[in-house]
Chain A
Amino acid sequence: KNEVEQSPQNLTAQEGEFITINCSYSVGISALHWLQQHPGGGIVSLFMLSSGKKKHGRLIATINIQEKHSSLHITASHPRDSAVYICAVRVNTGNQFYFGTGTSLTVIP
Chain B
Amino acid sequence: NAGVMQNPRHLVRRRGQEARLRCSPMKGHSHVYWYRQLPEEGLKFMVYLQKENIIDESGMPKERFSAEFPKEGPSILRIQQVVRGDSAAYFCASSPALYEQYFGPGTRLTVT
- Tell me the dominant secondary structure on chain B's binding face: strand
Tell yes or no: A90 within 8 A of B by CB: yes
Given the known interface contacts A98-B45, A99-B42, the answer about A45 and B102 at a Cβ–Cβ threshold of 8 Å is: yes
Mark each residue of chain B from 49 to 61: 1 if its CB lies under 8 Å from any CB of chain A, else 0. Answer: 0000001101100
Q: Let me know if B63 is at the binding interface, CB within 8 A.
A: no
Q: Is A27 an interface residue (CB 8 A)?
A: no
Chain A residues, CB < 8 A from B44:
99
- How distant is the Cα of A90 from the Cα of B89 in the complex, in angstroms? 21
A window 88-109: CB within 8 A of B: 88, 90, 94-102
A75 to B105, CA, bound (A): 27
Q: Which of A15-23, A29-37, A51-59, A61-69 has 4 or more CB atoms under 8 Å from chain B?
A: A29-37
When distances are taken between beta carbons in the complex, the residues of chain B under 8 Å from A44 are 103
A41 within 8 A of B: yes
| Contact pattern, B 18-52, Cβ under 8 Å of A = 1, otherwise 0 | 00000000000000010100000111110010000
The listed residue (B43, B45, B93) touching A96 by CB distance below 8 A is B45
Chain A: residues with Cβ within 8 Å of the partner, total of 23
Residues on B with beta carbons closer than 8 Å to the beta carbon of A88:
43
Q: What is the interface residue range for chain B against chain A? A: 20 to 34
* 21 sample A-B contacts, Cβ–Cβ < 8 Å, listed by A number: A30-B98, A31-B99, A33-B101, A42-B103, A42-B106, A43-B91, A43-B93, A45-B100, A48-B101, A50-B99, A86-B43, A88-B43, A94-B58, A95-B55, A96-B45, A96-B56, A96-B58, A98-B45, A99-B42, A100-B42, A101-B41
Residues of A within 8 A of B43 (CB): 86, 88, 99
